[in-house]
Structure 1
Amino acid sequence: MSNSSKAAVALLVGVAIGAGLGILFAPDEGSKTRKKLKDGFDEKKDELKKKFDDLSSSLKSKLETSEADIKSAFEDVAENADEKSNEIIDSLEKKLADLKAAAAKMRS
């Protein structure tokens, strides 16, 4: 379980324990207590949503960076392969010219 997941679980457990204790020791009447609990729950829910959105954005950013790195590496490989194939073709053409020259010497 990741640190973010552990923190979310701990936060939810803390909210539940706090809500239970708040109900037990609440000096206010029930409707006021329920409103306070709802407000507290809504606040924690918003905090969790914000943390989730931040985590989601962070992961998305990392994935986009990784995708860009992979594309860049692929382009480098493709470019190097093109250069190497041109070098091989040039080398083969030179060897062919040398062979033709050697064959021409043998005929004369």
Structure 2
Amino acid sequence: MNDHGNTFLGLLAGTAIGAVLGILFAPDKGENTRQRISDEADTAKHKLTNLAHDLKEQALSTASVKKQSLDEHVEAIVSDVSYKAEDIISTLEKKLKDLKEKNKNLQKS
């Protein structure tokens, strides 16, 4: 989890704890207090669900971007290696031609 997610989670937890403590120490009937605690818990649950969804989407997006970047790098490497292989083959073919020519000349002598 990144720093923003940790910060948001900390703020959310602090808010929830503060709200529950505020409700518990406020002078009100027990039934009202329990209802307020339940409402606050539902609100916190929804916020956590939204945070988890947002973090999941962010992770999927980041993974997709990284995969695309990796695919582009691999493609560039394969292309570069292909060109180098062609250069090596051409050089070897030239050297083989030169060696055949020298061998032909040696056999004539």
Q: CA deviation at 1:61?
A: 1.0
> In the alignment, which residue of structure 1 is the partner of 2:80?
80
| Partners of 1:24 and 1:99 in 2: CA distance | 97
After TM superposition, the runs of 4+ consecutive aligned structure 1 residues lying more than 6 A away are none
| Partners of 1:25 and 1:32 in 2: CA distance | 11
| Partners of 1:26 and 1:43 in 2: CA distance | 22
Higher RCO structure (Cα 8 Å, ≥6 apart): 2
> In the alignment, which residue of structure 2 is the partner of 1:56?
56
Q: 2:3 matched to 1:2?
A: yes
CA RMSD of aligned residues (A): 2.0
Q: CA deviation at 1:9?
A: 2.0
| Partners of 2:93 and 2:26 in 1: CA distance | 92
Q: CA deviation at 1:32?
A: 2.0
| Partners of 1:34 and 1:91 in 2: CA distance | 84
Identity %: 22
Alignment of 1:8-19 (within 5 A): 8-19=9-20
| Partners of 1:39 and 1:56 in 2: CA distance | 26
Normalised by the size of structure 1, how large is the TM-score?
Answer: 0.82
Contact 2:19 2:40 (8 Å CA) reproduced: no
Normalised by the size of structure 2, how large is the TM-score?
Answer: 0.81
String of CA shifts for 1:24-82, please: whole Å, max 9, x gaps: 2143x211221122112111220121012101210121112112211221122122212
